[in-house]
Amino acid sequence: MLVLSRRPGESIVIGNDIVVTILDVRGDQIRVGIAAPRDVQVHREEVFRQLEAENAAAQGSAARARQLVARMPNPPRGAPNRARPVGLSPKPERAEPAEGDTDA
């Protein structure tokens, strides 16, 4: 781990586009400002660990769902596909009257 000493107002540059600036020091608390591109996620460590745990749980749930679907029996051939909504057909297009047609 690299350890650097900084005073309020001083910065540390990470890579080409991340700047960490010490904003304030009060007792045992330090305020830090971070300038990074929008596509770089910046989290406090405890929030990052919680997100990791939630993502791992979601991946486990998705894997279990895939396993359950894989175990489902295949429908017999010619059976209707119930995955599509039944009775929802597109509305027929209205024919435009030809030139010279009248409602007489």
State pTM to two decimals.
Answer: 0.53
pLDDT digits (tens, 9 = 90+) for 1-35: 999 999 999 999 999 999 999 999 999 999 999 99
Strand-pair partners of 33: 21
Tokens of 56: 């791992």
The DSSP code for 71 is H
- Is residue 85 left, alpha or beta, with left meaning phi > 0 and alpha meaning psi from -120 to 50? beta
The model's confidence at residue 86, banded by pLDDT at 50, 70 and 90, is low
Tokens of 51: 């997100």
